[in-house]
Structure 1
């Protein structure tokens, strides 16, 4: 039952290339790419993300990636923390198991967008979710696809939390 509480929801955006995508993409891809994005959702004092280790959480800014390159305010949610954790538990058992991670089609950004939709009714910015298809539409992206598909990204939290909601 809702008690009228409202929880701020933020999107943490990390550039995994640390600026290299912006510099090298015109030469390599023939188009400008601003970054190689990893995202997570911050709500209830935790940062939630999906990678090769499944759904994880840590204190905000405590993943191996450090502080985010940018933060987007996604608005507020009336969803109570317990209900959200139940939702995450169901996703962890089905859609977002570790072996379901796929760099292009089912990744951290897919997860962040779905979580944002559940909490606020809005998805994350399309420039993030459209990036894989943009890269793969280039000849260089097609040539690199086999190598890139073997990559698993698992930005671990460094505070000892190996699941979520364990505070």
Structure 2
């Protein structure tokens, strides 16, 4: 029976390996190549297998943070291609995506277990040395962000980041609405002040006119009374709607008429000034 070659393909992860590997500690990804297919393991937040297939030695297929380092011969296997696929399904039950852990169950733990099943041999110890050191020194693991360790924590971190982003967007929207409302209130307040100033000015003007009219009528009344005492109006005549003879003073209805006239002019003036403020053309209205 023909035996198939089993190779361990190793990849550098991140630029950090250019420095860390010089002191015997590196961050590596690895996969087992057999029958022209490379098998590797990665994490995800679901309860099915995290084992996946990859083109042998293709770092670009893994992602931009991976760089192919070397390929190491582990040995040969008696498993057929079909038996390898069956073995992958069985191993995948233990190496589920949601069970991935950067320190205790990573891609190198998978390649070590898979290589052992295929060839009965171990992979080089330096491949997973960082995980071994971190596992023996617990405080190192506690220093790492939880989202680095497991895909579940990573997904939770991503979800929380998305929620915080949505909350910040909502806060920004509320601030914009509040600013708009304040601007509208300031505009309305300015318009009300303009209208109040206009009303005060016109009321003062009409009060002056009413005073002049009253003085004029009082003078006319005095003149008429001194010239013709017999034609002075009676109290009954002033308080009725009867016709007024020459020289009669009908003062109270005149005051009421002036009040109505003022309110009418004020309403028209306020209306016109409101629209002149809105369209930016303030025009003087001569009453």
| Alignment match, 2:127 | 128
How many corresponding residue pairs?
A: 142
Q: Alpha-carbon deviation of 1:146? A: 3.1
More strand by share: 1
Q: Which one has the largest radius of gyration?
A: 2
Match of 2:9 among 7, 12, 17: 12
For residues 25 and 12 of structure 1, what CA distance do their matches in structure 2 show?
Answer: 16
1:113-164 deviations in whole A, cap 9, x for unaligned?
A: 1110111110211122332131453865542253531468xxxxxxxxxxxx
Q: Scaled by the length of structure 1, what TM-score is found?
A: 0.73
1 CA distance for matches of 2:138 and 2:12? 20
Structure 1 residue aligned with 2:35: 44
Q: How does 1:6-155 map to 2 (within 5 A)?
A: 6-18=3-15, 20-23=16-19, 32-53=23-44, 54-62=50-58, 63-65=61-63, 68-92=68-92, 94-135=93-134, 137=137, 142-144=142-144, 146-150=146-150
Deviations 1:4-40 (A, max 9, x none): 111011000111123x2342689xxxxx344201110
Tell which deviates more after alignment, 66-75 or 137-146. Answer: 137-146
Distance 1:87 1:71, change over 3 A: same
Return closer, same or farther for 1:58/1:25 CA change in 2, 3 Å cut-off.
Answer: closer
Question: What CA distance in whole angstroms lies between the structure 2 residues aligned with 1:24 and 1:11?
Answer: 21
More helix by share: 2
Q: d(CA) in 2 for partners of 1:138 and 1:21?
A: 22
Structure 2 residue runs without a partner (length 5+): 45-49, 153-287
Give structure 1 stretches of 5+ with no counterpart. 27-31, 153-167
TM-score calculated relative to the size of structure 2:
0.44
Give the superposed CA RMSD: 2.6
**Whole-Å separation in 2 of the counterparts to 1:88 and 1:133:** 24
Whole-angstrom CA distance in 1 between matches of 2:147 and 2:85: 35
